[in-house]
Chains A and B, each alone.
Chain A
């Protein structure tokens, strides 16, 4: 029917078979990804005898928070039995300064590249991006040597520096793309008004960068929190992040594997990224689009 005499107002929505198909697919996909999480949560609330019965999908008969308490404060990593809480503090000590510094430097880079256009800026930017595409395992050994030379190997500043360096390409790209879309006249007006490099950056650009700062923070917080390799290699025994501690807990076996405690510790470790996803899902999608699509 190409035209209807009584058509008026909003077009009525109809449930077509293709629409049903789409919904079915989405529900199945969501279930597929949620199922492991469900298993983790229910397992962490069961006692070991119940787990050993073998039905991993069953709801706990006698829910208990004991595994969580153990995971938090008593689980053993090698010889220490302080639980995963030490790792939480270390992770925050690494994540907060790394996020802050890498975002600040990325924003300054992006700002300088888009507005001040230094000679050779594009070449530097291209090299920086190239660096982002080389697998970073390649850098590990040289970086260990370099950091030991300057006495930063196995220290907190050392691991922060590593995260900052590896975050820089993506942060620069993110901010450059954001600032390129800001009308150049705004920058010119600020120059006529007497703003210098830092004045324009801190008083004009940063206040305008709310959305992209949020996106950058999400990317860095989740990325740095989830990091295992750098933490293991560069942080040193006293600063091991939560991910490394988790690995140690899970791999320290005395007798039967404590699945309930392992599950609880894992969920605790994943808590920060999970909260970030839930609170800022919309921004997160935007961040991925900004990083991936725009050139």
Chain B
């Protein structure tokens, strides 16, 4: 099938500085793709390039099988939602929604029909006569989404649409956006630096750093099998624990040895051959550590000393000193731990990650 959006060899520079180089990305029709990455990694730049709001230095942008690299934003079949809402302040909600259609000279009854439909989908009918300054943040963002909807575009672009909202509203609107996608079945490209948003909304996530896509996969793969140290560290909260060391021969198999630990790596699903002597980084998510009773009897169980405990409601995060390192473990909050407690824990290699010494590749 032809991709809905296709980015080919994209380069974007400001003066002598390349903020993006040789970027390739194919987005399937109806897909919900999330661009995720730290601030300044080029997410908005990429989105603006798709929208045609910045000029590309090299490469092509294709939308729905058409080369739109030189096309005006309005001719690309896109709708866009901005973090700052960007509602036209002196126009009522209704006129905000209809601005684009009025500018392009649509017939009046068609405009009315489309505005009514968008207002119905987003439940903003009672607000139609109001000015943006008389709306709450959540209502404003709904209107902003509505303004994109009336355009009947093939591709919707969202640039951190929820990050100006408070936590509760963010969750509500997140669910609504997901529903919207299920109902409309359009392609959506969604920028965020909130990984929860990314994991819950996306069909696929593109994790970006320094103007390059580090990994493009479905959320579970990104979470379970991060391709490199950056993705592993960026995804997951609290962050993954890392131990630096090397592989050694032990008891007929291989083991990770380093920072005062020796852990057999049996059960690790490797993508290439592992060899003794290889320098590696071991990554373990706090929520994947068999702890206390769960660790008892497991091979390679070790003992950690509790340093502090952070209760988080449903569960709690326990920080432990372990060998010459430190790690955090997530455990259900049935039991309290106190500084100084000695608790057994194990490494579940089926859910751990191994990276080469410079963190570039998963082993």
Contact = CB atoms under 8 A, between A and B. Distances in A.
Contacts of A183: 84, 86
A193 B80 CA distance: 9
Given A183-B84, A199-B103, A203-B103, A192 B51 contact: yes
B247 interface: no
A204 B74 contact: no
Contacts of A208: 88-90
A203 B72 CA distance: 19
Given A191-B73, A192-B78, A193-B74, A185 B99 contact: no
Contact of B80 (A192, A199, A203, A207): A192
Contacts of A188: 48, 51, 53, 73, 80, 82, 86
B257 interface: no
A190 B89 CA distance: 12
A189 B103 contact: no
A192 B84 contact: no
B100 interface: yes
Contacts of A194: 73-74, 100, 103-104
B83 to A, nearest CB: 7
B79 A192 contact: yes
A31 interface: no
Contacts, number: 61
B147 A189 contact: yes
B128 to A, nearest CB: 18
Contacts of A204: 88
A236 interface: no
A223 interface: no
Contacts of B51: 188, 192
A73 interface: no
Interface in B233-287: none
Nearest to A187: B86
Contacts of A203: 99, 103
Contacts of B151: 192-193
Interface residues of B, number: 24
A187 to B, nearest CB: 8
Interface residues of A, number: 16
Contact of A207 (B90, B100, B147): B90
Nearest to B159: A185
A186 B85 CA distance: 8
B176 to A, nearest CB: 20
Contacts of A207: 90
Given A193-B99, A193-B100, A185 B74 contact: no
Contacts of B79: 192
Interface string A117-154: 00000000000000000000000000000000000000
Interface string A168-212: 000000000000000101101111111100010001100110000
A189 B80 CA distance: 7
Contacts of B85: 185
A192 B48 CA distance: 10
Contact of A186 (B73, B88, B104): B88
A185 B82 contact: yes
A192 B74 contact: yes
A190 B84 contact: no
Contacts of B147: 189, 193
A194 B105 CA distance: 10
B83 A185 contact: yes
A189 B90 contact: no
A237 to B, nearest CB: 46
Contacts of A186: 86, 88-89
Nearest to B79: A192
Interface in B66-107: 72-74, 78-80, 82-90, 99-100, 103-104
Determine which residue in B48, B87, B99 has the highest number of CB atoms from chain A within 10 A of its CB, and name it. Answer: B99
B103 A185 contact: no
Interface string A47-91: 000000000000000000000000000000000000000000000
A207 B89 CA distance: 9
Contacts of B90: 207-208
Nearest to A194: B74
Contacts of B89: 186, 208
A195 B103 contact: yes
Given A194-B103, A194-B104, A195-B103, A189 B74 contact: no
Contact of B53 (A191, A193, A195, A199): A191
A203 B102 CA distance: 11
Contacts of B82: 185, 188-189
B74 A191 contact: yes
Nearest to A189: B86
B73 A192 contact: yes
Contacts of A190: 88, 99
A186 B132 CA distance: 13
Contacts of B78: 192
B293 to A, nearest CB: 53
A204 B99 CA distance: 10
Contacts of B86: 183, 185-186, 188-189
B148 to A, nearest CB: 8
Given A186-B89, A194-B74, A203-B103, 6 more contacts: A183-B86, A189-B86, A192-B53, A193-B74, A193-B103, A208-B89
Closest 3 CB pairs of A and B: A193-B100, A194-B74, A185-B86
29 contacts: A185-B83, A185-B84, A185-B85, A186-B88, A186-B89, A188-B73, A188-B80, A188-B82, A188-B86, A189-B80, A189-B82, A189-B88, A190-B99, A191-B74, A192-B74, A192-B100, A193-B74, A193-B99, A193-B103, A194-B74, A194-B103, A195-B99, A195-B100, A195-B103, A203-B99, A203-B103, A204-B88, A207-B90, A208-B90
Interface of A: 183, 185-186, 188-195, 199, 203-204, 207-208
Interface of B: 48, 51, 53, 72-74, 78-80, 82-90, 99-100, 103-104, 147, 151
